[in-house]
Structure 1
């Protein structure tokens, strides 16, 4: 089905005027860039990602690696690349490889400028269970096997250490991402996060391995979360698993006003993050979204999330 989807994407985006896309790329932000170095092979490094974003006229990018934080390097990168005018952000994923659910690591990273704290991703219990079912979530087999991390206890209650982490995120006014947790964990996490003053809530690719329903997307958007759709799952990419019609369904579940689009790209044998964003913009236009709606999803909504507005 993926190759059929990809062929349909190519046909749809071929009809879209490149000059319109050029205009929508101006000021866009990509909060899901997988550049290198990394434990996995990448087609571009962090410097190249910034240079390509600048060439496209983008306003900012956020670097994500599952196994280390780019945040402490941002001041150095700003010194070298700041003349490009691209805002650069980093964050920490709470996998075992970075310390897991460790409030001391989170505190230090936030004080070194981390903009986003992701709950566990590739080493979450949900991710590992999904991989064992040979579901869609993939695991980096080169790394040592890792025990799965959950944020709740045997009774489904949020762990005290996670509450401590949420307090740090709230104090820093940073973004909390649900990572690759199961939807049941996400509801518990976000409910407590909001009580503790976390204002910036992000969900990544909700229909991809996280066991969301459309009602979950709608209700979490109403709750105040930004729902990020990963371009790589819908465009002409080797990670494509969804049809163009499914992209529209996934966006409409939250509504464009509560949706952002991140490339989730940087892997080898895939479009670059910039090309992925361009394809996603074209696909959204082909699906009938207005230029203003697309601009909201690639510019205004992610800008508001990182505090640029």
Structure 2
């Protein structure tokens, strides 16, 4: 960022006012993080962000969000969290979702690091996925489908609970084919807010898969960390331009997925991605949609 002109730095700063991070990996966490929830809040406030959503693979972060927002009202930043349906939460567990909804969770992530799809790729696409500081129990592979390829009853109950509470249903690390099946069922059951996490990483979406998920009503969330310098770099600026073209700015969300060691802090990641988008000649109106307005609709704070 030091190579940016003062004019470009000003453009970036102006665009970040009102931005939202739906995928902030601050700590405390079983995986080492470079900042905690309070630091993430203060960074976001300094940049004029509208909201931050804390994500942890192991615990429901709503209490942290509620208390920090109460303790630091002067920041003006809204704080949210949700529950990831991994082994630590009992898997695809309707009771965990029911509890999350009742204390104000905004999002339910289908299995991430406990997904059978993720576990199968631990020596492949997920090889560089962050590791926990201490050894965890061996994961139990999770799927939203039964042995016959049908959506499980627990998954259907989760979808009903998400629909009733009008929460975001996030795809986690389920494979594209499974995700399409689940999101199609989710739509039938009244889920309105659907989000595909990093569709081209671990999830394995093709261009046609992404188009189908958008057709089903989903937003495609691309992780900023995978397009900027750092440990998680996976794709080129041209890849990002292509992915945005597939879904359109109206259905694309850019979230940091940052907090991991070896990469920038979340707000610095946003600065770098906005500069990249400007270099790609993407309009400021579309940038605002992708870093804030679409996320605001998903959070129902627009």
TM > 0.5? yes
Cα shift at 1:219:
2.1
The verdict on how the C-alpha distance between 1:135 and 1:89 changes in structure 2, with shifts beyond 3 A counting, is closer
Report matched runs for 1:225-304 at 5 Å: 225-304=218-297
Cα shift at 1:250:
1.5
Q: Distance in 2 between matches of 1:148 and 1:82?
A: 41
Q: Distance in 2 between matches of 1:272 and 1:225?
A: 27
Paired position in structure 1 for 2:210: 217
Cα shift at 1:155:
1.7
Cα shift at 1:139:
5.8
Among candidates 30, 43, 64, match of residue 21 of structure 2: 30
CA deviations on 1:230-274 (whole Å, 9 max, x unpaired) are: 000001122101111111111111111110100000112210000
Contact 1:127 1:209 in 2 (8 A): yes
Report matched runs for 1:1-309 at 5 Å: 14=4, 17-133=8-124, 135-136=126-127, 138=129, 140=131, 142-309=135-302
Cα shift at 1:132:
3.7
Q: Distance in 2 between matches of 1:34 and 1:214?
A: 27
Contact 2:110 2:171 in 1 (8 A): yes
Paired position in structure 2 for 1:5: none
Contact 2:81 2:105 in 1 (8 A): yes
TM-score of the pair, normalised by structure 1? 0.93
Q: Secondary structure at the residue paired with 1:19?
A: helix
Q: Distance in 2 between matches of 1:166 and 1:181?
A: 15
Structure 1's consecutive aligned runs of 4 or more residues displaced over 2 angstroms after TM superposition are: 13-16, 72-75, 132-142
Contact 2:256 2:266 in 1 (8 A): yes
Q: Distance in 1 between matches of 2:251 and 2:99?
A: 30
Structure 1 vs Structure 2 CA RMSD: 1.6
The verdict on how the C-alpha distance between 1:130 and 1:302 changes in structure 2, with shifts beyond 3 A counting, is same
Contact 1:72 1:113 in 2 (8 A): no
Paired position in structure 2 for 1:7: none
CA deviations on 1:64-84 (whole Å, 9 max, x unpaired) are: 000001013332222212221
Q: Distance in 1 between matches of 2:152 and 2:123?
A: 25
The verdict on how the C-alpha distance between 1:151 and 1:269 changes in structure 2, with shifts beyond 3 A counting, is same
